[in-house]
């Protein structure tokens, strides 16, 4: 039974009006909640009443569609739904068509001609031979956007469709967006005359209980900046690592799906708090919510504030209270555990198990940095064997991660230089396949972690990989290494003064040799 209210509900803290309705009992399982609360995006009571009627009709239509069960969409219906996406997209950018950055027409022309391209399974040599498609990342992002838009639209309409219908809708949205982007490009060049109908502007056929409200698609409002536009701008400017470029947009889209729209300016603090509460209900840890969920949303919104597209970052003040528990605190390997790992590594014939733990122990480098080393990164400079950690080998954590480290005498005595000298040009560990983001470190951490656990070191608090960095730092203090040298060799953030100049290899070798 619906709440006994036929008027907008005023939020007591934000003073923003909402549509608030109790979910009928027969739909609670499908929606996964007992109440629907949607912001009307206004504090004006008259405007709220006007918007409330359309929002309520839209909600009732959604519920009617849900009661109808799963259905198949015809091509005509899919194009009709896709039309709303293209219409809203063009309307959003009509005043400044040249500023549209969401859809790249050169990538959209071949968006679905091939399967999703990724770096997994392709070695560095294969990439050099086959060539790196310069539109690959953009196409991946555009395909993901089309899928997100299709799911958001189906959810908004309350439509449940079969996989083939969803796939047809995704492709219809892509074709409509391509036509819309071409139209905007024409407008940016001065083509303001009325244009022929877009591919997506086929009149939508009657759908079960169509919404009374005008066409609108989550993520593409006719007025105001969208979360998708913020994502695109942030990606273009920051150019983050592949994994970050995948994770952050995905989290923000999950958040948009939760709030029911993609309008950045309509997002409220209450939305973020409700999302946090929902994630807590699902059992996520506080640190995961703070860093892995709210963190990406806060970052994308802050980019919008910094670039004058938003007035306020509503996620900035949202905190997640966490309490560290001793049982959860990670620890480094003990000296006995180190002896077990390095002894087993020395006896192994697998290059990854044989050399990665030893290299981590005697350099303090990150596992990912060691796993992606190339033959050309091991060489002699002024008579001193060195390891060069370079971005050409793979993604680095930050700008300070690029460094040149002398090879420890123990590694030389153990035969590492002979191993590197016999390797073929390219990755030192070619059998270690890259993960979905092109990083050998991701799979390397898993492979080594499972192997180290198999040695009987099963304490979940013991860090089998990252613990090497902590141990190296501890040994550096114990053996009197200069703090700035330790920071350099670990690839950590330097001070302002430390950012100037470099370090001589003879001095670094003398310091490195103090590690027993």
pLDDT score recorded for residue 137: 62
pLDDT band with cut points at 50, 70 and 90 for residue 298? very high
The pLDDT of residue 4: 46
Q: How much of the chain is helix, strand and coil, in % rounded to 5? A: 55, 10, 40
What pLDDT shows up at residue 114? 47
- CB within 8 Å of 233: residues ≥ 6 apart: 101, 303, 304, 307, 309
Terminal-residue alpha carbon distance, the chain: 73
Q: Domain-by-domain residue ranges, the chain?
A: 1-67, 72-223, 335-512
Q: Mean pLDDT, to the nearest integer, of 64-69? A: 63
| Residue 65: per-residue pLDDT | 62
- Rounded distance between C-alpha atoms, residue 368 and residue 372, angstroms: 6
Q: Is the pLDDT of residue 131 over 70?
A: no
Residue 43 per-residue DSSP state:
-
CA distance 66 to 58: 12
Residue scoring higher pLDDT (296 or 445): 296
Most confident of 244-253, 348-357, 449-458: 348-357
Alpha-carbon span 102 to 89, nearest angstrom: 9
pLDDT in tens, 216-254: 444 444 346 889 889 988 988 888 877 788 889 989 988
Average pLDDT in the 91-116 region? 75
Range scoring the smallest mean pLDDT among 137-151, 205-219, 320-334: 205-219
Q: Among 375, 58, 9, 7, which Cα is nearest to 214's?
A: 58
- Give the model's pLDDT for residue 356: 92
What is the token pair recorded at 192? 């303001």
User: What CATH class does 335-512 carry?
Assistant: mainly alpha
Structure-model confidence comparison of residues 77 and 480, the more confident one: 480
Residues of the chain with pLDDT > 70: what percent? 79
Q: What is the DSSP secondary structure assignment for residue 491, as one 8-state letter? A: T
Q: Quick one: pLDDT at residue 71? A: 65
Lowest model confidence (mean pLDDT) among 55-69, 152-166, 306-320, 417-431: 55-69
- Least confident piece of the model among 133-147, 174-188, 290-304: 133-147
Query: At 5, is the secondary structure helix, strand, or coil?
Result: coil
Q: Is the pLDDT of residue 500 over 60?
A: no
Q: Give the pLDDT band (50/70/90) at residue 422.
A: very high
Mean pLDDT over residues 393-410, rounded? 85
């Amino acid at each position: 039974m619906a709440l006994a209210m036929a008027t907008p509900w005023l939020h007591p803290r934000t003073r923003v009006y909402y549509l608030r309705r109790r979910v009928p009992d027969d739909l609670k399982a499908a929606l996964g909640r007992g109440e629907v609360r949607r912001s009307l995006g206004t504090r004006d009571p008259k405007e709220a009443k006007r918007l409330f009627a359309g929002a309520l009709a839209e909600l009732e239509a959604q519920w009617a569609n849900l009661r109808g069960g799963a259905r198949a969409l015809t091509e005509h219906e899919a194009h009709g739904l896709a039309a709303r996406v293209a219409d809203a997209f063009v309307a959003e950018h009509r005043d400044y068509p040249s500023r549209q950055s969401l859809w790249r027409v050169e990538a959209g022309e071949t968006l679905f001609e091939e399967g999703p391209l990724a770096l997994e399974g392709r070695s560095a040599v294969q990439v050099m031979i086959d060539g790196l498609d310069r539109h690959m990342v953009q196409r991946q992002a555009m395909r993901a956007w089309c899928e997100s838009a299709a799911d958001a639209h189906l959810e908004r309409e309350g439509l449940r469709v079969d996989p083939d219908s969803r796939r047809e809708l995704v492709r219809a949205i892509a074709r409509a967006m391509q036509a819309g982007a071409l139209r905007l490009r024409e407008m940016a060049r001065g083509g303001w005359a009325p244009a022929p109908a877009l591919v997506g502007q086929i009149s939508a056929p009657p759908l079960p209980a169509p919404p009374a409200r005008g066409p609108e698609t989550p993520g593409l409002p006719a007025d105001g900046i969208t979360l998708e536009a913020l994502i695109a701008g942030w990606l273009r400017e920051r150019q983050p690592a592949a994994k970050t470029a995948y994770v952050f947009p995905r989290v923000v889209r999950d958040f948009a799906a939760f709030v029911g729209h993609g309008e950045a300016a309509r997002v409220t603090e209450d939305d973020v708090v409700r999302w946090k509460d929902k994630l807590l209900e699902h059992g996520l840890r506080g640190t995961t919510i703070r860093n892995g969920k709210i963190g990406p949303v806060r970052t994308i919104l802050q980019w919008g504030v910094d670039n004058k597209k938003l007035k306020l970052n509503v996620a900035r003040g949202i905190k997640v209270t966490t309490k560290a528990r001793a049982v959860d605190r990670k620890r480094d390997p003990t000296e006995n555990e180190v002896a077990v790992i390095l002894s087993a590594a020395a006896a192994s014939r697998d290059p990854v198990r044989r050399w990665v733990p030893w290299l981590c122990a005697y350099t303090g480098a990150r596992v990912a940095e060691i796993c992606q080393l190339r033959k050309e990164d091991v060489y002699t400079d002024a008579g001193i064997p060195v390891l060069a950690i370079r971005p050409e080998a793979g993604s680095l954590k930050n700008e300070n991660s690029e460094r040149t480290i002398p090879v420890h005498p123990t590694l030389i005595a153990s035969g590492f230089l002979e191993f590197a000298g016999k390797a073929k040009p390219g990755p030192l560990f070619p059998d270690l396949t890259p993960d979905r983001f092109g990083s050998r470190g991701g799979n390397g951490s898993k492979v080594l972690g499972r192997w180290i656990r198999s040695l009987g070191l099963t304490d979940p608090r013991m860090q089998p990989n990252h613990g090497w960095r902590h141990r190296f730092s501890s040994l550096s203090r114990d053996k009197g290494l200069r703090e700035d040298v330790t920071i350099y060799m670990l690839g950590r953030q330097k001070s302002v003064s430390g950012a100037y100049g470099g370090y001589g290899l003879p001095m670094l070798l003398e310091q490195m040799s103090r590690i027993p």
